[in-house]
Amino acid sequence: MPATRIEKPREFFDNVVTPDFQDLTANRSDLRLAYHACTSLLGLRDWVCHEHKSKPWSAQGKAQAPFAGRNDLQNALGALNSNFDIVTDIANASKHMVLDSKRSRTALWGNANTEVQQIHGGAMASGPIAAAPIAGPPITRIVVKIDQTYHDVFGCISDVYMAYDQLMRDNSW
């Protein structure tokens, strides 16, 4: 098998970020895989910044101001979708155990805010429109608590992955 070379953001996306996302998609309740996906998405930001700093770019069909560094790019991405900030904060908190208040973008304090929950799903029964939900099998999911709100980590990661996928295509990153 030939060695994989990772020298460009697109190669990092294809060979690191995408496999991490696919692994998590196959097992959405694996906290290790969730941390891994967040960390590789954060790493992609650094790859993009290094390669494309000070260059024009667009998002959702709108020209964006060139970014001078990681913070500029992070702020621009967070303005596009707040899930970029949640994923970044989870990645940093999982690496450092707590999120330094000087770098905080959300009210996430640390990796202790990230947990695996088991909830009971409900599926609508076939029949009349007003049918009551039927208790389904338990669903295990990973959530992060920010302030008093729980955010589905897989949903956040999925949003960021899809946004990056579009940005990679639109900007030839």
Domain ranges of the chain: 9-111+152-171
pLDDT in tens, the chain (173 residues): 566 789 999 999 999 999 999 999 999 989 899 999 999 999 999 999 999 999 999 999 999 999 999 999 999 999 999 999 999 988 888 766 555 566 566 656 555 555 556 665 544 334 444 444 556 677 778 888 877 888 899 999 999 999 999 999 999 99
Count of CB atoms situated within 10 Å of the CB of 48? 25
What is the SS3 assignment for 97?
A: coil
Helix ranges (H only) for the chain are 9-12, 18-26, 31-52, 70-80, 83-96, 153-171
Percentages helix, strand, coil for the chain (3-state, rounded to 5) are 50, 20, 30
pTM of the model: 0.81
CA–CA gap between residue 142 and residue 32 (Å, rounded):
11
Determine the Cα–Cα distance for residues 81 and 85; give it in Å rounded to an integer.
8
